[in-house]
Structure 1
Amino acid sequence: MVRMPPESGTSVGKPERVSGAPQFFTWEEIGLRTGKGEFKEERWLVIRRKIYDISQFHLRHPGGTRVISHYAGQDATDAFTAFHKDEDLVKKYLSSLLIGELAPDQPSCEPTKNATLVNDFHELRTTVKRMGLLQPSFLFFGFMFLHAFLLDTASWLTIWYFGASWVPFLVGVALFTIAQIQYGFLQHDLGHLSVFQKTKWNRPFHFIVMGICKGGPPSQWNHMHNQHHAKPNCFRKDPDLNMHPFLFSLGKALSVELGKKKKKYMPYQHQHIYFALLAPLTFVIFVQGVVLRFAFQRKKWLEFAFIILYNVRVCLMYVPLMGFKSFMAYYWLARFLESSWFLWISQMNHIPMNINYDQNLDWVSAQLAATCNVDQSLFNDWYTGHLNFQIEHHLFPTMPRHNYWKVAPLVKSLCAKHGIEYQCKPLLTAFADILHSLKSSGEHWQDAYLHA
């Protein structure tokens, strides 16, 4: 059963399902089905010229309701390919959602998008698969886990052998912090399905590393992070922008809008000064509160149990050696340092870039507008968990990080061919650009607030 297209010249209502010839739609008709306005009950999207009705399915989408809803009324072909490593696995869902296809006179991608760039990227992705760059190295990821585990163990051994005086205390905190951040990079790899070739193996190991080693719910990470990759730096679609506008004013366009509305939650003209302290403090509190709230509200009882198990584990490891008060100082100092580390390396690729509402750009343009790279070196690769290759990571989110450097020259060539800027900068410059961007955004807000 398929839906027949509305007759030409008539208002676009909800078509009735009838059997017969294939049903055709235009981009204009699809663009109305966003879950808002006149057709607020309908959400459609396009994948390889096929049209799917996700009006009900988005509520039970395994990747979360929001990430798929963000593409309602749009072409989701490249996002679908990027997120689904095993497309055969999801065909059983797609077949029941199919309602038609693009009319023969309609282009394969929306008219506002660069069709040549889209086609060239599809060719690049075919080349990437042919080169085996989506194949993981078990030796690499085994080493990454082992070195994080040894650092974690060394933290405990330092306190056990030397005691909890200031020097071993600080050395232990440093080792614990590094272990936690490296576990974090590994769970990031597992969450992106890039450690094992089979999805069914990535999921349980992500559950273990995120739960036992990090003390967080993997489903909450997937829920938040997939949205970020689907629509990076898009306000109200990228949850990484949730601190706008309550703590920070981000991007010129949003800052001017905030100023014109006379909104002043914080002294944004000074946000480049308070970022280094307030951002990690807020992140520590936010993460600890949100992970528990998410697991409890969504009834993720097994994940909730693993969070409790993690906290019991670290308490049993350290409290007998240093006492509860010293352990609290040890733990929260490490969490603050870890949050600072994570925020600087994650935001150096995004805050200095374009931040705005969703412009419905093609996949390549959207990712390049929102991301930049940091120079490659052994230290930079390790220190950032290979997120210095943020461009390649966003274009190919399931690619194992040890292959980013191999695909980077191909991405650079694609950008050069189409006149797209491929930004790459030194690490310290990237850090400084966070503050420069915050200062600039704060000035735009202040000017609009005072003079609009």
Structure 2
Amino acid sequence: MSAPPPTATAARPAPTSDFATLTGIIRGAGLLERRHGYYAATIGLTLVVFAAGCVGFVLLGDSWWQLGTAVFFAVMSTQLAFLGHDAGHRQILRSGRANDRVGRVMGGLVGISYGWWMGKHTRHHANPNHEDEDPDLDIPILAFTRGQTLDRGGFVRWTAKNQAALFFPLLLLEGLSLHWTSVQAVWRGGIKGRRVDAVVLAAHIVVYLTAVFLVLSPPVAIAFIAVHQGLFGVYMGCSFAPGHKGMPTYTDATALDFLRKQVLSSRNIRGGVWVDFALGGLNHQIEHHLFPSIPRVNLRRARPLVREFCDQRGIEYAQCGLLMTYRHVLQHLHEVGAPLRAQDSAR
């Protein structure tokens, strides 16, 4: 005798979301486990190289060859920022408080408020490329969507109109912008760990400017700061921008689950381990956005698993070479500014 059919009140297994299924695959591969040895070696080596650069800076003294040292410190500042980024995502240690301590040390060495950055970056991860919620789309002198061009006037209209040509030159100011915005955030309050960040930022500014103007003559010191901060901004911008700029944006009217929201708004960059190093793992943007706490060194192993999963479900998985991704970014900026150029030419 066959069993009776289930009643309306019979318990049914809850449907498993695509993201939950993918999480099981990633966890089963052991990719969510901390990599303490890797980070101990990476942080230790980075700090040793940074300290050696500081010693070399003092020994070289007042020389125009210090502009080469400025290039070195631009690279090291970005590498330290990458480690602060990893700490903010709880990739390094198990305890959130311990990760925050590491992040604040890295932020102090670079001169960025960790509390401000954490708040901003957390909002970005929650809504990447959301036209109203992603703070990385809220840059007044640029327009990343056609809607943002509607309220542009004066100087910001000119920059938005010519933003493709201005993009890389404007990145020269990104380093100073990060420092200044950090100071403003600490001054205004409303960020986590404000007092600690205030002390750390003040110490960074005093030590940095004292060292530069004590060792170097004023002309060399000013040139050193310009090269250091300018190239730091370019390196940071070239590392973070390719992951999302030129990818689809969305609003609250767009119905996307977590997995599709993260994948469809992100772009990976092809390349070997040297690209991993140069971009701090941000070349695996899709995997990083899906699983922010995956240690940087595990992202490369997660990549084929995520791509296969997306292919099986017909989810577009975007990736391209390093130079091609900058082409996509510039092409997108050029297209967004087209209406402004057309309006001005019609006048």
Normalising to structure 1: TM-score of the pair?
0.68
CA positional deviation for 1:239: 0.6
Partner residue in 1 for 2:4: none
Aligned to 2:110: 214
Q: What corresponds to 2:225 in structure 1? A: 331
Does residue 270 of the first structure (1) align with residue 162 of the second (2)?
yes
**Alpha-carbon deviation of 1:132?**
2.0
2:50 maps to what in 1?
152
2:102 alignment partner in structure 1? 205
Q: Matched residues, percent identical? A: 23
2:5 corresponds to which residue?
none
Which of 118, 137, 140 aligns to 2:35? It is 137
Q: Given the alignment, which residue of 352, 355, 369 partners 2:264?
A: 369
Q: Deviations over 1:45-74 (max 9, x none)?
A: xxxxxxxxxxxxxxxxxxxxxxxxxxxxxx
Q: Does 1:348 align with 2:242?
A: yes
Counterpart amino acid of residue 329 in structure 1: A
The residue that corresponds to 1:127 in the other structure is 25
1:284 Cα offset (Å): 3.3
- Give the match for residue 88 of structure 1: none
The Cα shift of 1:129 comes to: 2.1
Out of 319, 331, 334, the residue aligned to residue 424 of structure 1 is 319
Question: How many equivalent residue pairs?
Answer: 330
1:254 aligned partner: 147
Q: CA deviation at 1:226?
A: 0.3
Q: How well do the aligned residues superpose, as a CA RMSD in angstroms? A: 2.6
- Does residue 1:284 correspond to 2:175, yes or no? yes
Partner in structure 1 of residue 92 of structure 2: 195
Contact 1:158 1:171 in 2 (8 A): no
Distance 1:289 1:309 in 2: 15
Of 128, 136, 152, the residue aligned with 1:232 is 128
TM-superposed CA distance for 1:214, in Å, is 1.6
Partner of 1:319: 213
Deviation at 1:435, TM superposition (A): 1.0
Return the alpha-carbon distance in structure 2 between the equivalents of residues 445 and 234 of structure 1: 22
**Given the alignment, which residue of 434, 439, 444 partners 2:334?**
439
Q: Given residue 299 of structure 2, which amino acid in structure 1 is its aligned partner?
A: Y
User: Structure 2, unaligned stretches of length 5 or more?
Assistant: 1-9
Give secondary structure in 1 for the equivalent of 2:283.
helix
Uncovered stretches (5+) of structure 1, i.e. residues with no partner: 1-103, 109-114
Deviation at 1:195, TM superposition (A): 0.4
Dislocated runs of 4+, deviation >6 Å = 448-451
Q: Cα deviations across residues 147-190 of structure 1 (Å, max 9, x unaligned)?
A: 32233223323333333322x21221111111100000000000
Say yes or no: does 1:180 pair with 2:77: yes
Q: Quickly say closer, same or farther: Cα 1:204–1:159, change in 2 above 3 A.
A: closer
Q: Which amino acid aligns with 1:344?
A: C
Q: Secondary structure at the match of 1:219?
A: helix
2: CA distance, partners of 1:327 / 1:333: 10
Distance 1:230 1:448, change over 3 A: farther
Q: Distance in 2 between matches of 1:449 and 1:357?
A: 29
Alpha-carbon spacing, 1:445–1:416, altered in 2? closer, same or farther (3 Å): farther
1:403-418 equivalences in 2 (<5 Å): 403-418=298-313
Aligned AA for 1:275? F
| Structure of greater relative contact order (alpha carbons < 8 Å, 6+ residues apart) | 2
Contact conserved, 1:154 with 1:175, CA < 8 A, in 2?
A: no
- Equivalent-residue separation in structure 2 for 1:355 and 1:450 (angstroms): 28
